[in-house]
Every structure is written in structure tokens, then in C-alpha cells.
């Protein structure tokens, strides 16, 4: 296909975008038509927050949503897909379901998260992430269903991905092959501003346990080995180390266990720490230095130390400029005002297991304003995530994702640029073997 020529919505080719723009308008209309159902879905998840890998209510609400979404049986749902609280829902045009010699369909994935935080519920707005993923998928399906002729071969896949806040459900699903054959994946995360990309960092977590020797704190303290002293030394070692940390590194932790009674020398203490850096390579350097701090504390206190890593490292999110530029173009048509590219690339960020996804398939993970200036991981954000005001911004974001997905379907040259960006970023991250 020659440069500048797009697929027609009727399977041919044309030199303009008017047909595609009408298709995007239809996608937005389909999302509006489902607004009440989507809002009820979000509120059901928000009202009963569940922790990582325990999202049974949210999982049931989401799978029932797709099983009952009209027209009947339009989505093929696998309710317990690879993990007890994960799911997979697929839709493809009816004519594509019959065996034929047609080319392999384009596989587009829309991701839903739905786990909450301990104590403060949906303070990261994962109920809205689930709603965005479901809504965007409905928009794409609705637009393609209305075509007078068969669309290009495509399959729309919704993946329910549990345990983002703790454990890394997407990484479990990657290892189980859930992302194999996906071409592009989409999701969006609530925040305080609209950003097509934020440089979410690589993250490694550890549990550190010190073992000492109990003794009476007053009668014969010299007989004991104080595990709490080891924990305090470790905490202070890391605090002193901050002077030599790069400005982009982050280290934060808690002392989870420091003893049971003041007149007993603590024989056991426990800390939990998170380390973050802009890349996996830098994260390894930071982790090594931090572990030296833990071991030094054991040596100084006479205790023994056990350092146990978390189940998964979260990788940094790889940017895909072609994809997020298309998203911004569509978002602006809907009235979304994005922060500047400089602010976007240099702003604060956290970590997500979506980073690991971007190392196996091109994807986009934009952030969106929900009508509140409250900060994530606060009680105020929990309230905002459950508000009616957040619905307008959530569905607007879903529309922008659906419109971008339609660009990917009908603009082969865009898909090619997305794939090239993906390969280039992998090479920059020294993961060349992953694309060979």
C-alpha cells in the first residue's frame, strides 16, 4: 500500500480520513450509549474494594458484564483465564469467525485493572481503569459492527489483569502466554493531569529479616543480639546513602516488626523496602548498593540477615511515541488538554506491571484527570474515583483510546511505525534478543 493511503472502512483504500472520522464518531456514540452500564460497573467495583489476587467480586462483575453485554453472546468470555481472578473476553466480526484463507487478524488488547489498596480502598482509581478498558473495547466493537461491509481482519481482546498494586498480575499473565500474538495493547490510568505518557520507573521490592538473640533487657542485655538495632542501622544506612543517590532513584521502606516488649532484647526484626530507578540497568546498581547497607547492619549488630526479593520486578514503561502522538491527536478532538511533552517526560511517576507488558508488545498507558486535584493513594482520591464527576473524564479517555485503536486498524503505516518504535526502544534497553 502506497504511503498516505489508508484502508477504507469498506476494505478498499481511500485518500482521505472522513470515513475514518465518522467511524470514530460512532465509537464515541457507542460509549455514550453504554454510559449508564459502564458507570454501574465502575461503582460496583469501587464500592467493594479487594486486594491483589483476591478481587473475586470485581472479577465476577466484569465477567458478567461481558457475558451479558448485548447483543447476546457477542463476547467469548474465559472467566478464569490463567489466574483465578483474571479473565479474557474476545470479539471479532461474525464473518471473521468462519474458517477461511483470510490473513491473520490484528489482535488489539484492552486491559482492565481492579485491585485496591489496603485500608483506603480504590485510592488509585482502578475501578476507573476497569471502566476505561471495557468502554474502549465496546466503542471499537460498536464502530466495526456498523460497517456495511466486512472491516479489516481484527480481534478485540479484553484482559482482566489482577494484582497490579502487589504481586504483578500482568507479569504472571505474560509468563502464562496471555500476551502472545497481541499486536498493540491499550489502557489508561487516573491521575491529576492528562498525559499521553509518563516515565514510570522500574521497581524491585525486598523483605529484609534480621535474626538476633533474645535476652532480658535490664538484667543481662550483653547476652542478647538486638535485631531491632540491625533494622535501625539498616534504615539509617540507607538514609545516609541518599546523599549519593541519583536524583531519579527512589528508596522507601518501613520497619514492619521491631520486637514484642521493651524488656526483651528483640531477636527478630523485619523491614520492607521498594527501590525504583528509570531503567532495569540502573535498578540493578541501586539494589546492589542497598543490599550492602542491609548486610553492613547485620555485621555491625552481630545478627544474621535474610534478604528476600519480591515475586516480580516491575520494568520501566517503554514509550511508544507514534502511539501516544496518535492518542493525543484524538484526545484533543475530544477537548482533552495535555501537559507539555517536557513536563510529561520529566515529571514524577510511580511504577506499574504494565512496564513489563511494554517489553513484549507495543502499548500505551496514558494518564487522565478525573476532575479532582486529590493525589493518588489518599482517602481523598478514593472519594474522587467513586464520584459521578469522574465519569465524564473516564469515558472521554475511553473514547480517545477507541479512536486510537481505530487508527491502528485502518492506518497500516501507523501500525508499522508503532512496531518500529517498539523495536528501537527494546534495543535501547539492551533487550535486542527479545526482537530477534
- The DSSP string of 339-392 is PPHHHHHHS-----THHHHTTTS-EE--EEE-S--PPTTSHHHHHHHTSSHHHH
pTM of the model: 0.91
In a domain, 144, yes or no: yes
What is the structure's pLDDT at 70? 83
- The DSSP letter of residue 317 is P
CA angle (117, 137, 124) in 5-degree steps: 15
Residues 93 and 162 both lie in one domain: yes
> Alpha-carbon distance 386 to 371, whole Å?
11
Residues 28 and 156 both lie in one domain: yes
The domain total for the chain is 2
> Alpha-carbon distance 47 to 41, whole Å?
10
Strand partners, 209: 270, 306
Residues 43 and 187 both lie in one domain: yes
pLDDT tens track, the chain, 436 positions = 333 334 544 443 333 478 999 999 999 999 999 999 999 999 999 999 999 999 999 999 999 999 998 876 799 999 999 999 999 999 998 766 555 556 899 999 999 999 999 999 999 999 999 999 999 999 999 999 978 888 899 999 999 999 999 999 999 999 999 999 999 999 999 999 999 999 999 999 999 999 999 999 999 999 999 999 999 999 999 999 999 999 999 999 999 999 999 999 999 999 999 999 999 999 999 999 999 999 999 999 999 999 999 999 999 999 999 999 999 999 999 999 999 999 998 877 899 999 999 999 999 999 999 999 999 999 999 999 999 999 999 999 999 999 999 999 999 999 999 999 999 999 998 753 343 3
What is the structure's pLDDT at 436? 39
Residues 173 and 267 both lie in one domain: no
Residues 328 and 373 both lie in one domain: yes
Residues 299 and 172 both lie in one domain: no
What is the rounded radius of gyration, in angstroms, for the C-alpha atoms of the chain? 24
CA quadruple 298, 301, 304, 306: dihedral sign: negative
In a domain, 1, yes or no: no
Which of 278, 309, 340 corresponds to the end of one domain?
A: 309
Residues 27 and 68 both lie in one domain: yes
Residues 291 and 424 both lie in one domain: no
Strands of 244-362, DSSP E = 250-257, 268-277, 304-309
380: number of Cβ within 10 Å: 14
> Alpha-carbon distance 425 to 320, whole Å?
8
Residues 214 and 327 both lie in one domain: no
In a domain, 210, yes or no: yes
What is the structure's pLDDT at 103? 83
Q: What is the CATH number of the domain that holds 57?
A: 3.40.630.10
Residues 162 and 73 both lie in one domain: yes
In a domain, 5, yes or no: no
In a domain, 388, yes or no: yes
Segments forming the whole domain that contains residue 35: 16-200+317-429
> Alpha-carbon distance 415 to 401, whole Å?
15
Q: What is the CATH number of the domain that holds 254?
A: 3.30.70.360
CA quadruple 407, 136, 350, 295: dihedral sign: negative
Residues 181 and 41 both lie in one domain: yes
Which residues, 6+ apart, have CB-to-CB distance to 317 below 8 Å?
A: 197, 198, 199, 200, 352, 354, 355, 358, 365
Amino acid at each position: 500500500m502506497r504511503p498516505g493511503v489508508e484502508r477504507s472502512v469498506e476494505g478498499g483504500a481511500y485518500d482521505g480520513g472522513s470515513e475514518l472520522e465518522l467511524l470514530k464518531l460512532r465509537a464515541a456514540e457507542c460509549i455514550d450509549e453504554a454510559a449508564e452500564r459502564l458507570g454501574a460497573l465502575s461503582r460496583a467495583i469501587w464500592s467493594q474494594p479487594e486486594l491483589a489476587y483476591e478481587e473475586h467480586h470485581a472479577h465476577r462483575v466484569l465477567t458478567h458484564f461481558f457475558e451479558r453485554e448485548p447483543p447476546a453472546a457477542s463476547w467469548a468470555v474465559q472467566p478464569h483465564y490463567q489466574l483465578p481472578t483474571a479473565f479474557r473476553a474476545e470479539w471479532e466480526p461474525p464473518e471473521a469467525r468462519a474458517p477461511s484463507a483470510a490473513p491473520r487478524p490484528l489482535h488489539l488488547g484492552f486491559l482492565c485493572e481492579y485491585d485496591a489498596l489496603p485500608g483506603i480502598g480504590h485510592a488509585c482509581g482502578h475501578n476507573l481503569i476497569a471502566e476505561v478498558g471495557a468502554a474502549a473495547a465496546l466503542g471499537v466493537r460498536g464502530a466495526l459492527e456498523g460497517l456495511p461491509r466486512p472491516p479489516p481482519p481484527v480481534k478485540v481482546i479484553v484482559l482482566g489483569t489482577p494484582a497490579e498494586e502487589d504481586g504483578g498480575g500482568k507479569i504472571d499473565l505474560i509468563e502464562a502466554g496471555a500476551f502472545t500474538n497481541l499486536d498493540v495493547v491499550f489502557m489508561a490510568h487516573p491521575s491529576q493531569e492528562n498525559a499521553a505518557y509518563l516515565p514510570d520507573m522500574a521497581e524491585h521490592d525486598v523483605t529484609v529479616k534480621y535474626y538476633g538473640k533474645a535476652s532480658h533487657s535490664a538484667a543481662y542485655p550483653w547476652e542478647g543480639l538486638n535485631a531491632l538495632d540491625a533494622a535501625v542501622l539498616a534504615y539509617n544506612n540507607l538514609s545516609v546513602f541518599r546523599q549519593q543517590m541519583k536524583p531519579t532513584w527512589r528508596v522507601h521502606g518501613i520497619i514492619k516488626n521491631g520486637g514484642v516488649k521493651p524488656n526483651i532484647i528483640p531477636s527478630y526484626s523485619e523491614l520492607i523496602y521498594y527501590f525504583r530507578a528509570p531503567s532495569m540497568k540502573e535498578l540493578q546498581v541501586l539494589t546492589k548498593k542497598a543490599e550492602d547497607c542491609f548486610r553492613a547492619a547485620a555485621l555491625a549488630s552481630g545478627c544474621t540477615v535474610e534478604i528476600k526479593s519480591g515475586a516480580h520486578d516491575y520494568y520501566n514503561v517503554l514509550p511508544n511515541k507514534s502511539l501516544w502522538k496518535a492518542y493525543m491527536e484524538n484526545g484533543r478532538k475530544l477537548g482533552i488538554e495535555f501537559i507539555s511533552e517536557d513536563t510529561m517526560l520529566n515529571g514524577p511517576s510511580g511504577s506499574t506491571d504494565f512496564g513489563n507488558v511494554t517489553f513484549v508488545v507495543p502499548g500505551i498507558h496514558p494518564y487522565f484527570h478525573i476532575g479532582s486535584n486529590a493525589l493518588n493513594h489518599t482517602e481523598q482520591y478514593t472519594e474522587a474515583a467513586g464520584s459521578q464527576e469522574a465519569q465524564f473524564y473516564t469515558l472521554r479517555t475511553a473514547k480517545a483510546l477507541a479512536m486510537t485503536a481505530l487508527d491502528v486498524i485502518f492506518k497500516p503505516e501507523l501500525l508499522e511505525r508503532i512496531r518500529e518504535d517498539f523495536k528501537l526502544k527494546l534495543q535501547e534497553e539492551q533487550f535486542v534478543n527479545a526482537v530477534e
